[in-house]
Amino acid sequence: MSVLTEPAPGHAPDRATLAAALRHANMPSLVPVLYQLTGDRRWLAEPYRPTRSRGMEDNDPGGFGDAVRDEICEATADAVLAWSAGRAPAVPSPTGAELVELLELAVGEEVPAEYGEMAADDMGFAPAEPTPTVPPTDFRVIVIGAGVSGMLAAIRLAEAGIDHVVLEKNDDVGGTWLENAYPGAGVDTPSHLYSYSFAPRPWSTHFGKRDEVLAYLREVADDHDLRTVIRFGTEVTAATWDDARQRWTVTTAGGETLEANAVITAVGQLNRPKIPDLPGLGDFTGPLFHSARWPADLDVTGKRVVIIGTGASAMQIVPAIAGTAERVTVFQRSPQWAAYNDVYFTPVDDAVTLLMEHVPFYRRWYRTRLAWNTNDRVHPSLQVDPDWEHPERSINAVNDAHRRVFTRYLQAELDGRDDLLAKALPDYPPFGKRMLLDNGWFAALRRDDVELVTEAVAAVTPTGVRGVDGTTVDADVVVLCTGFETHKLLHPMDVCGRGGALRDIWGPDDADAHLGISVSGFPNLFLTCGPGTVLGHGGSYITIAECQVRYIVDALTTMVTEGLGAVDVSPEAHAGYVARQDDAHSRMIWTHPGMQNWYRNAAGRVVCTLPWRIVDYWAMTRHVDWDAFSVEPAR
Ligand code: NAP
């Protein structure tokens, strides 16, 4: 399967096929389509208004009875066939109040006006801003990394006409999706949202597995001819700014140096495995590896596997290997909250793909509803209520209600297994650590051949893993699902700017940046997935990457067209942004003392996650805030 293209008139399926497919439509996404095609306002009123969806569920039938559903489907079939035969859509590009009205119809609740602007942009309804392009120039950019963000940067730089090269340490594109090849690996953001806005795909499942995500990224790379600008097998070890020459010099592991006017880092935050400091790690005689280094040729059939850690990676690996391995023993340091999603395992119906291919606007509404339901929905409930009566278990009434829902789910899943319930039920607030989706984790824990151990790991022995109580679990394979060096951003590269080395300025675990993108004293350096920009509250990282790359390419095109040689965010602007970020975090859930998470550092400062709503970050990064920068003409 390849990338989806926009439906085009003249290719509609026959009426019976279309009508049959429409019966599988997500009805709240379909009603605004019907309005756009016909312009008939009766579709905006009762009885055609879908009900509100609660939480993340898909809300397919929209709360309609059969008769109304049939009426909408029939009318849509007529409208699509008329459109395919040449009738122009009555409302091709709703924006402003009209779009907000349609959004409210589709999601069944009030939508603040600012979401209309963001949706108009994502849906392609906003008047297209001219793609910034530059005249031929010798201005050159080095992009470090060819994962989701680096590929995006390369695509946008090419569109802008800016010369660039991408340096990638691996031998292929894909970044995290190339490296994390463990059994069960996949997204837990809905796939139609975990896609570039400009490259939709007919996903086979609602939550794409690793092979499909990697195939998608490879297709995007091919479609945009990215491999011609990527140098694979080229790891960057250092980048140094030369003030006099207004250039970055980038050094590779092979000892080569390359020069550029600007550098974009696209190395992610979840890239460098965090290996626990356990005695005996090197003594184990069988395969022992980090989850992101799963050996391609490893067969765990009939093997005794020890898993250390219970984060998102472990949660996917354990259900995937349980039943194949002879025995799986999981060492848990902290339990995790995991939510249920009713379409987690459901394939996307072919009919739905047909609708996306042939019904104009349908895919855009489908994605927009997903965005509404996952982007900022829980953000308000992650704010601490200072008067809340149960601050030890939750942070406000809604968070407490979430706790009840997730607890009930966990109790139902572990019904009859009080031993497991006692181990698996977290005592900290839900969302305090990264929220997980249950992909069969609790079902796996219930198995006779899976054991959950809450004893801390004391050491690895030649033949297994020893807990602090002295018991040893024999193993053939040990998997360290222990996460990543999230606080050491850009690690292990040496990045030196005007004021010295970034690792000295940031220290071992205290990175910050203006908008997560620019660091004062490091001119012409732009970070994607920088400090304070990981999503802890929901949504798709690709949305954030698109915000950042748009901002960065805006800055670079301005530099070229205005003849700027160095742009450096001012210390005041940088510090002001970080103060606002820290202040926002001080009132949010991730500073709660009841748990550890990979978002905050040893001093308790939240380093990794975005405190803002996605719509706010979208607005902040819409255009470069030049007042925050000191600029120098090119020398
Ligand atoms: P993680 O969430 O950081 O989990 C690491 C686990 O290892 C935790 O359970 C941690 O315990 C445990 N641990 C660390 N050191 C330990 C030690 N010395 N002894 C015992 N246990 C130890 O790492 P991850 O699972 O690789 O996930 C990282 C992030 O990657 C996720 O949060 C997510 O953002 C992303 N991810 C996403 C997906 C997906 O979309 N489905 C899948 C995989 C990863 P504590 O909890 O006590 O610290």
My answer on whether 60 and 195 are in the same domain is no
User: Which of ligand 1's atoms lies nearest the C-alpha of 534?
Assistant: 34
My answer on whether 253 and 292 are in the same domain is no
CATH of the domain at 518: 3.50.50.60
User: Whose Cα sits closest to atom 2 in ligand 1?
Assistant: 311
pLDDT score for 56:
61
My answer on whether 447 and 309 are in the same domain is yes
My answer on whether 588 and 568 are in the same domain is yes
Task: Determine, yes or no, domain membership for 388.
Answer: no
My answer on whether 457 and 501 are in the same domain is no
pLDDT score for 57:
65
User: C-alpha distances in angstroms, 220 versus 2, 173, 257, 438?
Assistant: 9, 10, 29, 29
What are phi and psi for residue 394, nearest 5 degrees? Answer: -160, 170
What tens digit of pLDDT does each residue of 422-481 get?
999 999 999 999 999 999 999 999 999 999 999 999 999 999 999 999 989 999 999 999
User: Whose Cα sits closest to atom 38 in ligand 1?
Assistant: 312
Q: Which residues of the chain have pLDDT under 70?
A: 1-3, 54-57
CA-nearest of 293, 304, 314, 288 to 482 is: 314
My answer on whether 172 and 256 are in the same domain is yes
Sign of the CA dihedral running 426, 428, 433, 434: positive
Which of 71, 102, 128 is the endpoint of a domain? 128
Task: Determine, yes or no, domain membership for 45.
Answer: yes
For the chain, what is the domain count? 3
Q: What is the pTM of this model?
A: 0.97
My answer on whether 163 and 307 are in the same domain is no
Task: Determine, yes or no, domain membership for 2.
Answer: no
- The CB of 609 under 6 Å from ligand 1? The reply is no
Task: Determine, yes or no, domain membership for 112.
Answer: yes
Task: Determine, yes or no, domain membership for 490.
Answer: yes
User: 222 is in which domain, residue-wise?
Assistant: 144-272+486-633
Among 288, 344, 482, the mutation site with the greatest number of ligand 1 atoms within 8 A of its Cβ is 482
pLDDT score for 55:
62
pLDDT score for 585:
98
My answer on whether 501 and 627 are in the same domain is yes
- The CB of 311 under 6 Å from ligand 1? The reply is yes
Cα 65 to averaged position of ligand 1 atoms, centre (Å): 44
My answer on whether 321 and 458 are in the same domain is yes
Cα 410 to averaged position of ligand 1 atoms, centre (Å): 20
Task: Determine, yes or no, domain membership for 362.
Answer: no
Distance of alpha carbon 158 from alpha carbon 585, whole angstroms? 37
User: Whose Cα sits closest to atom 10 in ligand 1?
Assistant: 309
User: Whose Cα sits closest to atom 12 in ligand 1?
Assistant: 309
My answer on whether 313 and 441 are in the same domain is yes
- Match 């002001």 to its residue by tokens: 576
Distance of alpha carbon 33 from alpha carbon 37, whole angstroms? 6
- The CB of 315 under 6 Å from ligand 1? The reply is no
What are phi and psi for residue 451, nearest 5 degrees? Answer: -125, 135
Which of 80, 98, 128 is the endpoint of a domain? 128
My answer on whether 494 and 584 are in the same domain is yes
Which of 128, 154, 173 is the endpoint of a domain? 128
My answer on whether 122 and 158 are in the same domain is no
